[in-house]
Amino acid sequence: MNIQRNNAFRHTKVVIAATSLVFVLGLWLLGPRIATVLSGGFTQSAPSGAFQYAVQREHASVEIDVTFNGNGGQADVQRYVQVNMARAQALLQEAAGERLWTTITFTKPLTAQEVEQLLRDAGVEAASYTQVGWTATGQRMASTIFSHPGSSDFDLERLAQEAISSDPAAPDYGAAMAGFMVVDGVMTISEASLGKLLTDERVYLVDTTAYEAQKLGGVTEATVRLPTPFWDMDWGAE
């Protein structure tokens, strides 16, 4: 299965304060990323009932937005996680060697060093990293850093520090960051990669829905946007 991703945004910051909708350089994010589909395409439910998806076709490109089923409550998220685990086990048996676009959500915020070592050990090529924390006024926020695979000057720890504004007028000025909760990227389906992540206690969800969503959309190549419950998870103490 071919993987298509958007590398147009690199080293870009996205700040989310409270649950407001923020638009930055053409990228939409909404708090926990479980809001209604943004593409405007027709929303359908997957046969498993675990997620909804909308396919938008424009010229030669295809985009698929995936959301949790229902209202994105705890039961909906748990169902999504369980179906992902079952699908992942099946993929290890039936799709070994194929490439998979994934969103990895951690159980708690990890340091830059922890994230990079975890991804390196599992052979994940990261496209973006989302760190979380609190603004000076105590509101939850997230900052996303986009990377380009193979970049020789990419320094995640430095970029994480630079992502917080030094402008006193900025909403994230003086923010306290807890660490990284989400990574988007690509891996090869194998026991050494997907299998390793499934058994890592630091990983809450390694999302395999893109594989099924592309088949449901009838395409072999698409940009797939996946949900993550990180916004409502425990980030530790401020």
Whether residue 226 contacts residue 52, with contact meaning beta carbons closer than 8 Å, is answered with: no
Distance CA 12, CA 20 (A): 19
Q: Is the pTM of this model over 0.85?
A: no
Sorted by sequence, the CB contacts under 8 Å of residue 165 that are 6+ apart come out as: 13, 171, 172, 173
Task: Give the pLDDT of residue 130.
Answer: 97
The backbone torsions φ and ψ at residue 121, rounded to the nearest 5 degrees and listed phi first, read -65, -30
Q: pLDDT tier at 43 (50, 70, 90 boundaries)?
A: confident
- Token pair belonging to 167: 């402008």
| pLDDT cut 70: percent of the chain above it | 82
- Token pair belonging to 235: 């980030």
CB-side neighbour CA atoms (13 Å) of 113: 0
- Token pair belonging to 220: 């072999």
Task: Give the pLDDT of residue 41.
Answer: 60
- Token pair belonging to 94: 């039936």
Per-residue model confidence as pLDDT tens digits over 96-154: 999 999 999 999 999 999 999 999 999 999 999 999 999 999 999 999 999 876 667 88
- Element containing residue 144 per DSSP (H, E): strand 140-146
183: closest CA among 161, 164, 206, 163?
206
